[in-house]
Amino acid sequence: MLITLPSGPLQTNCYLYSSDDEHLFIIDPAADAKQIIAEVSDTGITPTAVILTHTHFDHILAVGKIVEHYGGIPLYCHLLETDHMGERGKSYQLKELKSLAPQLLSYAQESLSTLPEVSKALNHQDMVEDSTLRVLHTPGHTPGSICLYDEQEEVLFAGDTLFRDSVGRSDFEGGDHESLISHITERLMSLPGETVVYPGHGGSTTIGHEKIHNPYL
């Protein structure tokens, strides 16, 4: 089961994903917690954890309300970005928001004032507990950017690393274009061509399509 919920001012994709109809993962709860909670309720599955592909503000605005609503369910992100959440992350997030999108400060400030702590730090090749999702560390958009690959279901949640006919921006603080391209090439383009890619923004694509058509690769 896979449900895509674009939300927030940048239309960031939040994904509800379950490969076994028992464990449900909320990937990048971007905004509109009420909508996410309603959609989760419709599945009839209690969410297992929230996973962040990275911690840019537009991917985390509903995290606080989601974690609170479900009684403190686990929150996962890469080791390099755990400091961007919780009490330590508040000042970082507000500073980043002022730098990246100051016009959205009033919209996002309340959500960023209540950031939950990360329950578990993820590393490259980790398997997400109670799932068939494997962590692929793909730094470049941010140092702790990850993709989530389910070999069994042939799907990849790419965050802001890879898009249809494009790649993630690397001109933000911590970005590195050379690292981004090399990790996409080594860790994503080596996946089977039929793997469906679900990015952080916009529509889906496949690894096979990107191998042929992506001008950045």
Domain ranges across the chain = 2-213
Residue 54 pLDDT more than 90? yes
Q: What is the pLDDT of residues 116-157, one digit of tens each?
A: 999 999 999 999 999 999 999 999 999 999 999 999 999 999
**Which pLDDT score, from 0 to 100, does residue 32 have?**
94
Residue 108 pLDDT more than 90? no
Residue 114 pLDDT more than 90? no
Q: Which CATH number fits domain 2-213: 3.40.630.30, 3.40.50.150, 3.20.20.30, 3.60.15.10?
A: 3.60.15.10
CA distances from 134 to 2, 103, 128, 139, 168 (A): 16, 36, 6, 16, 20
Residue 96 pLDDT more than 90? no
Between helices 105-112 and 86-100, what is the axis angle to 10°? 170
Q: Where are the beta strands (DSSP E) in the chain?
A: 2-7, 12-17, 24-27, 47-51, 75-78, 120-122, 134-137, 146-150, 155-159, 162-163, 166-167, 196-199, 205-206
DSSP letter, residue 133: -
Residue 95 pLDDT more than 90? no
Residue 97 pLDDT more than 90? no
Mean pLDDT to the nearest integer, 163-177: 94
Mean pLDDT, the chain, whole residue set? 95
**Which pLDDT score, from 0 to 100, does residue 66 have?**
97
In single-letter form, the type of residue at position 111 comes to S
pLDDT confidence bin for 3, thresholds 50/70/90: very high
pLDDT confidence bin for 26, thresholds 50/70/90: very high
CA distances from 167 to 119, 136, 178, 183 (A): 29, 16, 12, 11
pTM score, whole prediction: 0.96
Mean pLDDT to the nearest integer, 170-181: 93
Q: What is the pLDDT of residues 140-150, one digit of tens each?
A: 999 999 999 99
Which candidate, 136, 141, 203, places its Cα nearest to that of 171? 141
pLDDT confidence bin for 195, thresholds 50/70/90: very high
Residue 56 pLDDT more than 90? yes
